[in-house]
Amino acid sequence: MDRRLFVLRHAKSSWNHSGLTDHQRPLSGRGRAALPLIRRALEERAADIEVVLCSAAVRTVATLDGIRPALDDRVRITIDEELYGAGGQTWFERCMQVGDDVPGVLVIGHNPGLERLVHDLAPTGEPPARETLARGFPTGALAEVAVPGPWSALAYDSCSLAAMWIPRELS
């Protein structure tokens, strides 16, 4: 059974809030405007998502809130301080801990960790998705990775990039 890993970098955040820490930065107007586009891209494929792992930063939680209508009400959501600024290895380890019966996982966090995760897991994939990934992993980017086996056996270079969306390319 193929599983699906959806990797979502938070929507565009604002830098216009003096006195806030990086962790506290909210979404910008552009980030809030991108949420319906991201949600539409996700909802077409979200039926299998049963687990969400999300950084506890304000902008990632706001991104989750903006796409939440695309998710089933029974989705198990974990908002975790340790995922703020997490590297690709941390995300990898968290995905391995998801129950093997889970068909789909959505992770929401930050770069460079998420981009590294996608590159490390999926060295191959659909040409349009690979071309999009080659241009970077900007805010609001959403990647769909096909995982060929159980989460507990997740391995680098074992997956395939099925699709990738960038908000500015969606309508």
pLDDT on residue 14: 86
Terminal CA-CA length for the chain: 32
Distance CA 149, CA 167 (A): 30
Write the CA distances from 141 to 10, 21, 36, 101, integer angstroms.
Answer: 8, 23, 13, 27
Q: Which helix (H) or strand (E) holds 142?
A: strand 142-147
Distance CA 142, CA 166 (A): 7
pLDDT on residue 114: 98
Domain of residue 87, CATH code: 3.40.50.1240
pLDDT tens, residue by residue, 97-128: 999 999 999 999 999 999 999 999 999 999 99
pLDDT on residue 16: 76
pLDDT on residue 95: 98
pTM, rounded to two decimals? 0.96
Write the CA distances from 24 to 11, 30, 61, 62, 85, integer angstroms.
Answer: 14, 17, 11, 11, 13
pLDDT on residue 21: 76
Return all residues near 21 (Cβ < 8 A) that are at least 6 apart.
none
Distance CA 121, CA 119 (A): 6
Question: How many separate domains does the chain show?
Answer: 1
Write the CA distances from 132 to 41, 52, 128, integer angstroms.
Answer: 15, 24, 6
- Owning domain of residue 39: 3-169
pLDDT on residue 15: 78
pLDDT on residue 22: 72
Evaluate whether 168 touches 33 at the Cβ level (below 8 Å).
no
pLDDT on residue 24: 84
The residue assigned the tokens 């889970």 is 102
Where the chain has pLDDT below 50, the residues are: none
Secondary structure class of 152 (helix, strand, coil): helix
